[in-house]
Amino acid sequence: MRDTPINYDVVTRKINESKISSLERATIRMIKKLVDDIETATGEKYVRMEMGVPGLPPSKIGIEAEIKALRTGIAAIYPDIYGIPELKSEIARFVKLFLNLEVSLDGCIPTVGSMQGGFATFMTVNRIHKEKNTTLSIDPCFPVHKQQHMVLGIPVQAFDVYNYRGDKLKAKLESYLEKGNISSILYSNPNNPSWVCFTEKELRIIGELANQYDVIVVEDLAYFAMDFRNDYSVPGHPPYQPSATQYTDNYILLISSSKVFSYAGQRIGMMVISDKVYNLRSPDLLQYYYFDKFGPAMIFGSVYSLSSGTSHSPQYGLAAMLKAVNDGEINLINDVRVYGEKARIMKKLFTDNGFRIVYDLDEGVPIADGFYFTFSYPGMDGEELMRELIYHGISAISLTICGSERSEGARACVSLVKESQFPDLETRLKKFRENHPL
């Protein structure tokens, strides 16, 4: 029996019982279930960093607006597929005030979380032109996006951006786009899992290539304005949330309420379609939809088929939250700044004990401290790192499942780690280093 913070024999038994053939390739939910089982068996609490879920209370403004709406009887009424007017109006205001974009109300669509928005987007975008049936993913990526493509049977091509920052990004993107089969470019910004953020130069490259090759930029803004190196939270004033939409009209935005409003449980997100894409027409759409126009095909074809509309009361909750930040009554990111402070402390605990930050720079500038960070340990591959973390009472996910070429690394989410756990984390990291001397 080895000397580890969590009982070695129990952890070994639970790993074997889980039937997980490779911890390096285990999904987020598989790791969560394994750690849940170990905690139950041992009574020991892990430092939980595997789930990308909010660690703050939900917005009271949203909750009160939902309660008020429910008392009017809306739970008995199907919501319109395209969203309630109040929400569509506030979404359009939000993107104007925080992204400096003009978008018609028609293209502002509530979705059952940005996850449903992504599913509907991938389904519809890859049917516009039959010869363009493939998504290009700039990795590392949110693993479930790849899973959605697999379920839909839609091909994905991808590359790890680690070695293609700055000017190198253009040639790399063109090597895929010039083949003519790419429908869209998918990425998150800030990035899940690496927390790298594209520079203005890189966003310009993406936008200009989208114009040149007539592809749609699908920008996942799940962590809107959470690059805390700059303040993007003042409505109607620069700097705005960085986006390739400043350089192209070929875009669809997926905006989440889960992190910035801590509203994950209500499954309410926003899909924002540019006027150009909304009004795009193609006869190839008629093979799957009643419409040859993209916007109606998306709303009355894909979105309707998936859910018959987004849950009614959360739409009122999100509308109220957006109105509050649009009006300047509350600051968009004041509450979530704590994630950056936690990341700063936790990254230092890791590096003080021999770990290295994997994705560490944005074109030579240190990445922001935020919701996620990535780490590795010298001499360990991803499988060994994941296994040893679990023995030492720390849970994370492997970068391998995120499409990263840095298979030696892991992703840490800071949200569920309480400040009271920092001493325990430090003790466990010191024990890790003691058991694996450099």
Share of the chain above pLDDT 90, in %: 98
Give the CA dihedral 156, 159, 161, 167, nearest 10 degrees.
Answer: -100
The pLDDT value given to residue 2: 86
Q: Which domains does the chain have, with CATH numbers?
A: 8-45+336-435 (3.90.1150.100), 60-326 (3.40.640.10)
Average pLDDT rounded to a whole number, residues 278-296: 98
Q: Which is it for strands 216-221 and 269-273: parallel, antiparallel or unpaired?
A: unpaired
Length in residues, the chain: 438
Q: Quick check: 248 and 104 in contact, CB under 8 A?
A: no
Q: Quick check: 368 and 231 in contact, CB under 8 A?
A: no
Looking at residue 165, its amino acid is: R
Q: What is the pLDDT of residues 428-438, one digit of tens each?
A: 999 999 999 99
Question: Maximum distance among all alpha carbons in the chain?
Answer: 66
| 212: pLDDT strictly greater than 80 | yes
The pLDDT value given to residue 1: 61
Quote the DSSP letter at residue 139: E
* Helix (H) or strand (E) run with residue 383 in it: helix 382-391
The pLDDT value given to residue 231: 96
Which residues does residue 51 pair with via DSSP β-bridges, in sequence order? Answer: none
Q: What is the pLDDT of residues 126-135, one digit of tens each?
A: 999 999 999 9
pTM of model > 0.85: yes
Residues sharing a CB contact under 8 Å with residue 215, sequence separation 6 or more, in sequence order: 132, 136, 177, 182, 183, 184, 185, 209, 250
Q: Where are the alpha helices (DSSP H) in 247-381?
A: 275-278, 294-296, 304-307, 312-326, 337-352
Q: What are the CA-CA distances from residue 414 to residues 48, 195, 360, 373, 374 (Å)? A: 8, 12, 16, 8, 11
Give the CA dihedral 389, 391, 395, 399, nearest 10 degrees.
Answer: 40
User: What is the residue-averaged pLDDT of the chain?
Assistant: 97
Q: Quick check: 392 and 431 in contact, CB under 8 A?
A: yes
Lookup: tokens for 412? 């840490």
Split at pLDDT 50, 70, 90, the class of 183 is very high
Average pLDDT rounded to a whole number, residues 391-409: 96
CB atoms closer than 10 angstroms to residue 1: 7
- CA end-to-end span of the chain, whole Å? 22
The pLDDT value given to residue 159: 97
Average pLDDT rounded to a whole number, residues 251-271: 96
Q: What is the pLDDT of residues 14-48, one digit of tens each?
A: 999 999 999 999 999 999 999 999 999 999 999 99
Q: Quick check: 280 and 128 in contact, CB under 8 A?
A: yes
| 352: pLDDT strictly greater than 90 | yes
The pLDDT value given to residue 127: 98
Average pLDDT rounded to a whole number, residues 326-350: 97
Q: Quick check: 277 and 294 in contact, CB under 8 A?
A: yes
Average pLDDT rounded to a whole number, residues 256-284: 97
Grouping H, G, I as helix, E, B as strand and the rest as coil, residue 182 is strand
CB atoms closer than 10 angstroms to residue 364: 8
Lookup: tokens for 304? 């309707």
Q: What is the pLDDT of residues 43-100, one digit of tens each?
A: 999 999 999 889 899 999 999 999 999 999 999 999 999 999 999 999 999 999 999 9
Q: What is the pLDDT of residues 82-91, one digit of tens each?
A: 999 999 999 9
Residues sharing a CB contact under 8 Å with residue 168, sequence separation 6 or more, in sequence order: none
The pLDDT value given to residue 308: 87
DSSP state letters, 14-50: HHHHHT-S-GGG--HHHHHHHHHHHHHHH-PPPEE-S
Q: How far apart are CA 89 and CA 315, in angstroms?
A: 12
Q: How far apart are CA 386 and CA 394, in angstroms?
A: 9
Q: Helices then strands (H, E): number in the chain?
A: 15, 15
